[in-house]
Structure 1
Amino acid sequence: MDAADLDLLNGFQRDFPLTPEPFRIIAGQLGRSETEVLAALRRWQEDGKISRVGAVFATRKLGVSTLAALAVPPTQLEAVARRVNDYPEVNHNYQRDHDFNLWFVLTAVSSARLQEILSDIEEQTGLPLLDLPLLEAFHIDLAFDLRHGGGHKRSISPTAATDRLPTLELSALDRSLLTALQPGLPLLSRPYQALADAVGLSERRVIDTLRGWLEHGLVKRLGVIVRHRELGYRANAMVVWDIPDTGVSTVGRLLAAESGVNLCYRRPRRLPDWPYNLFCMMHGRERDEVLARIDTLCAEHRLQNYPHAALFSSRCFRQRGAWYLPAVTLPNQTENRRAARFEAVA
């Protein structure tokens, strides 16, 4: 991948142009043609290097979500993973190195639907299930810096601005637009017009609505959604700590500010099987690189005496954006599905 390709992938993961011809704007900034930009994005989507060009939604403004895990006998892992993937509400599904070896994210339109799915999975598999809803977010999805392995050291506010905003009520037309947007923008010269045609709105209304969603925090970012594994960052670890409840928020904000920590949040313990309450996602090109960074963070923040573990992913059973409503696919709007082939990731 040359410097021009990296500029396209790295520079437009957020702040995507809200103009009738966004790819032309991007091409002008990069000194390329619109045809070249669209061709590159289509190729990377087909190759699995990007998931989509589209929106990352604020989960708690649209519905509910949880992180769940199962302890699956190795001989049953693929069959159980396929069963979990039967639910469209499952957007991430990974094998990780732990007794609880199958980890998946569920996003649903209501708490009742979420619990229905969890109960179904537990009943159908007959396996112990961890339900670990988000309790406190310190750093979530501010794009992935491909030049620096996830990002530089950053400032973390005590409470994210989007958490202070009221839930946005969506009209029927807005919900139709959200549904059409879930798989990503169509990779066409005028993607917002294609969305408008699909849901019966004007192009201007679509653009203005998306701008309002971004300002309100319903959409956390709009842009290129990369798959870091396919771009060389294949050592993907979920690092978990058991931190006393009185100090977990302070430690969470400290770790969230560190370079190399891509996600950081607090979730509940589930004793006796799961004693951990602080989660960080860390990515690197090699496992030893990530382990060394974990050791450094433990030393810098005096965390060596707190129980912790690094759960590296070894297979991806699904990775895509969250679907809150039944999807509508438009022309040239084909979010890549390569993860359905159960890819090895390490």
Structure 2
Amino acid sequence: MQDDALDFRLLNDFQRNFPLCPAPFGELAARLGVAEVAVLRMLETLRREGKISRVGAVFAPKRIGASTLAAMAVPHEALGSVAEAVNRFPEVNHNYEREHRYNLWFVVTAGSEGRLQAALGAIEQSAGYPILKLPLIQEYHIDLGFPLDGQAEKYQPQPRPFSPPTPLGELERRLVMALQEGLPLFIRPFQVLASRIGCDESEVLERIGRWIDEGVIKRFGVVVRHHELGFTANAMLVQDIPDDRVSELGATLAREPGVTLCYQRPRVHPDWPYNLFCMIHGQVRHEVEKKIVELRDRLNLTEYLHDTLFSLTRFKQTGARYA
């Protein structure tokens, strides 16, 4: 298999359903018909080039800690310095400029609600601007795993009712910390993790599998960086949907090809009247705009107040830090 075909297969086919076995890269190699060393070498190249951030777990929001989407309205001339101040906090894992009066958008994650609120207070004090806090109410689709070949996604998200955070024992807490960095690119990566946290390889595999079954881990596999793969026209569509329809329409939007995130967050009057958010990732802006118009028209959403916030600058993108 040529390198360009191998990197595409790794990026496209293994964003989820990654083999949970002692030698997962060997299993990938067998499926792809190449040597194990070729898989490891290609994954390291993709990581070095910034096309993937890691291979590993994507945890469901608020299942093992606390998190919120947050925004600030920052004067344009101060945006760079404020973004830099926000980025200094390890609790911040995504930070983007978007087209809106609220122009700085970031995600804050912590090990507990108390630590989250403390981090938000410290960020607000450091940045010098008030934070619009938009915690998750209901998720319909939060994954960011989607095909890179333009084909319709075979995976159909299923809405999950909110579940309280899962209490973690000391061993589990250490495993979460280890997984934050992604799998080590070695022949027996789970054995390496097990040695780091002080348990058996079988315990690591069993716990990860159980977390996937319980929905604590949303997916386990290659975590791609979409901007580096050409998905640079990324829009956040926000809408003001009547409370008695938001779950129905959220679930409908979540099933639409091209919608990569969909969730309900609170309105914050008078500044923020929107309660249904979805992300649409694309390669060309006018195609994303066309998709949004088509979606709103076909699903009879045109009567509802909406706004579209395209991403302009990516200031930070890392995995969530729970510990």
Superposition TM-score tier, normalisation by shorter sequence: over 0.9
Structure 1 residue 183, shift from structure 2 partner: 1.1
What letter matches 1:286 in structure 2? Answer: V
Structure 1 residue 198, shift from structure 2 partner: 0.9
Cα deviation code 1:135-191 (max 9, x no counterpart): 111111061211127x4387554x42xx47675432211211111111100011111
TM-score in terms of structure 1 length: 0.88
The correspondence of residues 330-345 of structure 1 with structure 2, limited to 5 A, is none
The correspondence of residues 304-315 of structure 1 with structure 2, limited to 5 A, is 304-315=302-313
Out of 70, 74, 77, the position equivalent to 2:72 is 70
The correspondence of residues 9-20 of structure 1 with structure 2, limited to 5 A, is 9-20=11-22
2:182 is aligned to 184
Structure 1 residue 28, shift from structure 2 partner: 0.8
TM-score in terms of structure 2 length: 0.94
1:36 is aligned to 38
Aligned counterparts of 1:184 and 1:26: Cα–Cα separation in 2: 17
What letter matches 1:152 in structure 2? Answer: E
1:89 is aligned to 91
2:153 is aligned to 152
1:221 is aligned to 219
The correspondence of residues 77-116 of structure 1 with structure 2, limited to 5 A, is 77-116=79-118
Aligned counterparts of 2:119 and 2:164: Cα–Cα separation in 1: 27
2:254 is aligned to 256
What letter matches 1:7 in structure 2? Answer: R
Out of 142, 145, 159, the position equivalent to 1:143 is 145
Q: CA, structure 1 residues 6+208, in 2 after alignment: closer, same or farther (shift >3 Å)?
A: same
- SS state at 1:105 partner: strand
Structure 1 residue 206, shift from structure 2 partner: 1.4
The correspondence of residues 274-293 of structure 1 with structure 2, limited to 5 A, is 274-293=272-291
- SS state at 2:62 partner: helix
Cα deviation code 1:39-80 (max 9, x no counterpart): 111111111100100101122221111000001111111111
Maintained 8 Å contact 1:95/1:317:
yes
Q: CA, structure 1 residues 290+195, in 2 after alignment: closer, same or farther (shift >3 Å)?
A: same
- SS state at 1:246 partner: coil
The correspondence of residues 226-237 of structure 1 with structure 2, limited to 5 A, is 226-237=224-235
Aligned counterparts of 1:94 and 1:142: Cα–Cα separation in 2: 16
What letter matches 1:251 in structure 2? Answer: L
Residue segments in structure 1 that go unaligned for 5+ positions in a row? 326-346
1:238 is aligned to 236
Maintained 8 Å contact 2:180/2:320:
yes
> Hey, which bits of structure 1, 4+ residues long, moved more than 4 A?
153-157, 164-167
Matching of residue 119 in structure 1 with residue 121 in structure 2:
yes
- SS state at 2:132 partner: strand
What letter matches 2:178 in structure 1? Answer: A
CA RMSD of aligned residues (A): 1.7
Cα deviation code 1:75-113 (max 9, x no counterpart): 111111111111111111101111111000011111121
Cα deviation code 1:294-339 (max 9, x no counterpart): 00001101112222111111111111111111xxxxxxxxxxxxxx
User: Greater CA deviation, 55-64 or 22-31?
Assistant: 55-64
Maintained 8 Å contact 2:64/2:167:
no
1:340 is aligned to none
Aligned counterparts of 2:154 and 2:56: Cα–Cα separation in 1: 26
Count, aligned residues: 321
Q: CA, structure 1 residues 68+256, in 2 after alignment: closer, same or farther (shift >3 Å)?
A: same
1:196 is aligned to 194
Maintained 8 Å contact 1:153/1:259:
no
What letter matches 1:321 in structure 2? Answer: G
- SS state at 2:71 partner: strand
User: Greater CA deviation, 99-108 or 173-182?
Assistant: 173-182
Aligned counterparts of 1:164 and 1:271: Cα–Cα separation in 2: 24
Aligned counterparts of 1:113 and 1:168: Cα–Cα separation in 2: 16
